Amino acid sequence: MNRDLNKRIMALRFRAKLKFGWRVFRDPETPFAAKCVLPAVLAYLAMPLDLIPDFIPVLGQLDDLLVVALGLGLVLLMTPRHVIEDHLIELE
């Protein structure tokens, strides 16, 4: 993914980022596989079992953060660029 696109997404306010994610998720041009990643990430976060237990200081929360970052990055890589651009333009 282009660094310019990453900067534009990161420049959005938190509420706009949530709206952006929801729009990309609901877009019919977003591949089904990309749409499956978000619920999988949410399910992992909701599960009581973790790769690294949360009672281990720092590492317990770090694995959750890593899963979220990798999941969102994967969604952005799998989604066609024009879909991301269209929704970014509407929110900027």
pLDDT in tens, 50-70: 777 777 888 878 888 888 999
pLDDT in tens, 6-38: 889 989 999 999 999 999 999 999 999 999 998
Domain boundary assignment for the chain: 3-91
The pLDDT value recorded for residue 1 is 52
The pLDDT value recorded for residue 86 is 94
| Total-model pTM | 0.79
Q: CB within 8 A of 79, min separation 6: which ones?
A: 24, 27, 30, 31, 34
The pLDDT value recorded for residue 62 is 86
